[in-house]
Amino acid sequence: MAGTSETGIASGSSPLGPIETIHAPVLLDECVALVTPALDGPDPWVVDCTLGLAGHACAFLKAAPAAHLIGIDRDQEALGLASERMAREGLGDRFVPVHAAFDQLEDILKDRGLKRVSAVFMDLGLSSLQIDERSRGFSYSQDAPLDMRMDPSQSLTAAQILADYSEEDLARIFQDYGEEHHARRIARALAQARQRQPVRTSAQLDRLVDQAVPRAHRAPGNPAKRVFQALRIEVNGELDKLVRTLPQAVARLRVGGRLVVESYHSLEDRSVKRFMASGLQAKLPQGLPVVPQSARPVFLDLTHGARKADADQVAANPRSASVRLRAVEVSRPIPAERIERWREESSQPVYRANMHPSRRR
């Protein structure tokens, strides 16, 4: 008989079934090929900033038998399931689970006495556990409370945002985080609807957006898709956490270390692309005849832009359709002033949202 975890879930399973079958890691072979060359040196450590159900993490450890892995996740349930999976596959002695947001990366490494690591990996998509577990409210395809918290211990939910934010602030979120062309129209409809009754479920929100967006001006797919994306980003502070984490990651990578990131929508990919480009370019005033050593590029482009899933990969795993995979290698010691500049640039919100007083790290 299978054992049972402290959550009451049978070992190796989630409420949705065996974890190996409910979540197919996106571009797994490509990610392993990009990460593992950095794990050849002495005492290699890799950080999986988005552990989920440990599909990528298990593959990294199997491909690099000398490596250790720190797995970070905001979701305690996912951490428990991932830890059980690691133990079951004989990898538990090389695995360190951490319950935290990934923008706490440097503190996590400091607490464990690690000055440098060999690779940092980020898969920014939602895990199947989050998407398919109805009570999370991430999906517009099934009715559920509007929660959307990756970490259930935080206070802010999507329903609170819809109840508390002004019409103007809702419009800004939908525009900035969802790139929604009908942001003001949808925000107005929500502000009017909540005067009659609170908007608390995904079905209510889906119906309101459907009624608000003119059919003649709709993009393909469900018109609520961008609104749900915007709310999820605001609830979890996803973009601000991402831009804060990227400088932390490269500051802790050894020379030859690699940063590998999978993103799933244009806002994420734009942030990753912009950051990586800043390390692939020389930083100097125009007109200098010679590039000073301190201004030379610090990254080597491993993917030469973004890699995408091919038709066969999308057919096998439809959630890979929107993935963009980018990776760089630290090619020389990064000057302290460049890291400090990146930190300063990442300290301010990239977008105009993030207005709720209960926003948490």
Rounded CA-CA distance 236/49 in Å is 15
Pick among 1.10.150.170, 1.10.1740.10, 3.50.50.60, 1.10.20.10: CATH of 134-238 = 1.10.150.170
- Measuring CA to CA, which residue among 239, 264, 260, 259 is closest to residue 323? 264
The confidence score (pLDDT) of residue 133 equals 63
Residue with tokens 């959550």: 7
* Strand ranges in the chain using DSSP code E only, listed in sequence order: 13-14, 17-18, 45-48, 68-73, 95-99, 117-123, 253-263, 299-301, 324-330
pLDDT per residue as tens, the chain (361 positions): 333 222 223 334 444 344 454 568 999 999 999 999 999 989 999 999 999 999 999 999 999 999 999 999 999 999 999 999 999 999 999 999 999 999 999 999 999 999 999 999 999 987 666 655 656 667 777 789 999 998 888 899 999 999 999 999 999 999 999 999 999 999 999 999 999 999 999 999 999 999 999 988 887 888 999 999 999 999 999 999 999 999 999 999 999 999 999 999 999 999 999 999 999 987 666 666 676 776 789 999 999 999 999 999 999 988 899 999 999 999 999 999 999 999 999 987 655 545 554 443 3
145: β partners: 201
User: Which tokens go with 4?
Assistant: 């049972």
pTM of the shown model: 0.87
- Domain 13-129+240-333 classified CATH 3.40.50.150? yes
| 261 CA to centre of own chain | 9
How far apart, in Å, are the Cα atoms of 47 and each of 112, 240, 258, 332?
12, 19, 11, 20
HSE-CB at 111 with a 13 A cutoff on CA atoms is 9
123 is in an annotated binding site: yes
Rounded CA-CA distance 86/5 in Å is 14
The confidence score (pLDDT) of residue 349 equals 66
The confidence score (pLDDT) of residue 80 equals 96
73 is in an annotated binding site: yes
66 is in an annotated binding site: no
Rounded CA-CA distance 212/182 in Å is 8
- Say which amino acid occupies 231: L
Rounded CA-CA distance 51/57 in Å is 7
The answer to whether 34 touches 302, Cβ cutoff 8 Å, is yes
Rounded CA-CA distance 243/102 in Å is 11
55 is in an annotated binding site: yes
The confidence score (pLDDT) of residue 129 equals 61
102 is in an annotated binding site: yes
The confidence score (pLDDT) of residue 303 equals 98
Residues near 195 by beta carbon (within 8 Å), at least 6 away in sequence = none
Of the chain, the end-to-end C-alpha distance in Å amounts to 40
182 is in an annotated binding site: no
* Domain ranges across the chain: 13-129+240-333, 134-238
